[in-house]
Amino acid sequence: MIARLFNWINSRYKIEKLLYFSREKSVPLHRGTMWYYFGGITLFLFGVQVITGLVLLFYYRVGSDASFESVKFIITQVKFGWLLRSMHSWSANLMVLAAIIHMMSVFFHRSYRKPREMTWVTGVTMLFLLMVFGFSGYLLPWNELAFFATKVGTDSARAIPLIGDFLLKLMRGGSDVTGATLSRFFGLHVSVLPPIFTGLLALHLFFVQVQGMSEPLESAGHGRKRTMPFLPDFLLRDLMVWLVTFDILLLLSVFFPWELGVKADPFSPAPAGIKPEWYFLFVFQSLKMLPAHIWGIEGEVLGVMVMGVGAGVLFILPWLDRASSQGLRNRLFDVIGVFGLLYFATFTILGYLID
């Protein structure tokens, strides 16, 4: 039966060539092989996001007078609705974590070096898009925490020179966070971001398939290479890692279900301790700790400008680190990478601990 089905498809679409390509594909073996799995974990969690998001969409209604009630209906009336919502929220956070680990492994292995510059650029773009996904999705339950966190988050846009006020109004659909903001965030979350992200993901995977997986700088070009066949050896290991990831996701969703909180009231004062999602905490805390003015420039404006430059440097990193393309390791980039990681971790912890 399976053989007949395969022959039927193969006679029309020549999928035999794809199988041949997969059989020839191999994965380099070295001390850092384990880091390859984080790319697969990110992909798996994106799949969970799509499936749970589509199911939630059947019940969710957008609007300042309907969103909170519809989410409440999902978690109290729909069978396993609470589990689906928890899985959607937890998988979003785990996906950002896996993407950050994946990007850092690529950074320290110098896997962005020539000829994989565009693989790096598409990867960094997707990481930023994941954060926008998280930011736009955070407001959708229209609860108190999401409302005021969005207010604080969108307020930061005001610090961007020249276009700050325009961006603020573009995001909010006015001067304040209202039902118009909710509609815009919903449209961004379910209509604008998914096709852009899916297109970039397809391009990223295409680059990886055509160019193969990169080896760390120190392993490349030294003697006979050890490899593992992609099909079935690496694929089976990848599936096992996905299974473990799914178990962790289920455990988190069951034992730490995502709370709904209380409905947002725009006229009530902001409760104490409002904070953004964990991956924005280092930005939030950095801006909070800056003095009012530095060298005659508003501290917040200067902070946003420095972070904007940092994000820009990430995109053009393969062209800045020319030594890696020649097989040489520039230690300055290691120092910058370790400093960046320590900064991110320290200010995230401070942001979590300090009210």
In tens, the pLDDT along 139-156 reads: 999 999 999 999 988 988
**Residue 200 pLDDT:** 97
Q: Are 279 and 131 in contact (CB under 8 A)?
A: yes
Query: Residues 103-125: what's their mean pLDDT?
Result: 95
**Residue 197 pLDDT:** 97
In sequence order, what are the residues at sequence separation of 6 or more whose Cβ sits closer than 8 angstroms to the Cβ of residue 225? 28, 29, 215, 219
In sequence order, what are the residues at sequence separation of 6 or more whose Cβ sits closer than 8 angstroms to the Cβ of residue 67? 60, 61, 140, 141, 142, 182
In tens, the pLDDT along 207-261 reads: 998 898 888 887 766 666 788 988 889 999 999 999 999 999 999 999 999 999 9
Q: CA separation (Å) from 282 to 10, 93, 150, 279, 303?
A: 52, 15, 16, 7, 12
**Residue 216 pLDDT:** 85
**Residue 224 pLDDT:** 67
Tell me the pLDDT of the chain averaged across its residues.
92
**84 or 20, greater pLDDT:** 84
Check pLDDT > 90 for residue 354. Answer: no
**Residue 55 pLDDT:** 97
**Residue 222 pLDDT:** 63
In tens, the pLDDT along 34-53 reads: 999 999 999 999 999 999 99
Q: In terms of Cα–Cα distance, which of 170, 171, 149 is closest to 283?
A: 149
Query: Residues 146-174: what's their mean pLDDT?
Result: 89
Check pLDDT > 90 for residue 17. Answer: no
**Residue 226 pLDDT:** 85
Distance, CA of 263 to CA of 72 (rounded, Å): 10
Q: In terms of Cα–Cα distance, which of 306, 283, 279, 321 is closest to 120?
A: 321
**Residue 308 pLDDT:** 92
**244 or 290, greater pLDDT:** 244
Give the percent of the chain with pLDDT over 70.
Answer: 99
**Residue 161 pLDDT:** 81
Residue 248 token pair: 């962790």
